[in-house]
Amino acid sequence: MNASEVRKSGSLKNVLGNETGISFVVLELKNNAGKTVSQNVYWFSPGHNFKELNQMPEAKLQARIIKTEKLKNETQWTIQISNPTGKLAFFINPQMTEDGKEIFPSFWSDNYFSLAPNESTTISVSIPNAKIGSNKIKLAISGWNVNKQMNSL
């Protein structure tokens, strides 16, 4: 298959046609070695009624700093975020904060992502050193059904 080739793989109508609530579809693009290179989450509802999103059960996440690297002009963190629950963690928004306020600019490898039950992902963030004050930086994680969690670095 060529890089610009398009191939129809199936119809969601056949799969989701009888569903009555909200359905989530995870589309993963993998390379020849089977490594996921892109992931997108889509949500569908008959009649475009998405009110059920407000009743999603809460998911609690775990975060672990894998690596911190202070360079000449910026500091970089590599972070693993895991969803150990049996519930989808939807629309996750990580933020680096100082004194409870988000640090701008911060450059993320991924944000507003979702994690299936028992799934984890590794992301990175970099912040210019000039924007980092003398107070302790914390990682804040929140999402559609994830209450804000503050994690010390």
d(CA 141, CA 59): 12
Tell which residue, 48, 38, 44, has the closest CA to residue 15: 44
Determine which of 31-35, 90-94, 127-131 has the lowest per-residue pLDDT on average.
Answer: 31-35
Question: What does DSSP say about strands 113-115 and 89-98: parallel, antiparallel, or unpaired?
Answer: antiparallel
Domains of the chain: 12-54 (no CATH), 62-152 (2.60.40.10)
d(CA 115, CA 87): 9
What is this structure's pTM? Answer: 0.88
Q: State percent of the chain over pLDDT 90.
A: 73
Distinct helix (H) and strand (E) counts, the chain: 1, 11
pLDDT at residue 2 in the model: 77
pLDDT at residue 1 in the model: 67
Please list, in sequence order, all residues whose beta carbon lies within 8 angstroms of the beta carbon of residue 115, skipping any fewer than 6 positions away: 59, 61, 81, 82, 83, 88, 89, 92, 121
pLDDT at residue 150 in the model: 96
In angstroms, the Cα distances linking 52 to 18, 75, 124 are 17, 40, 32
Dihedral (Cα; 97, 138, 109, 91), 10-degree rounding:
-80
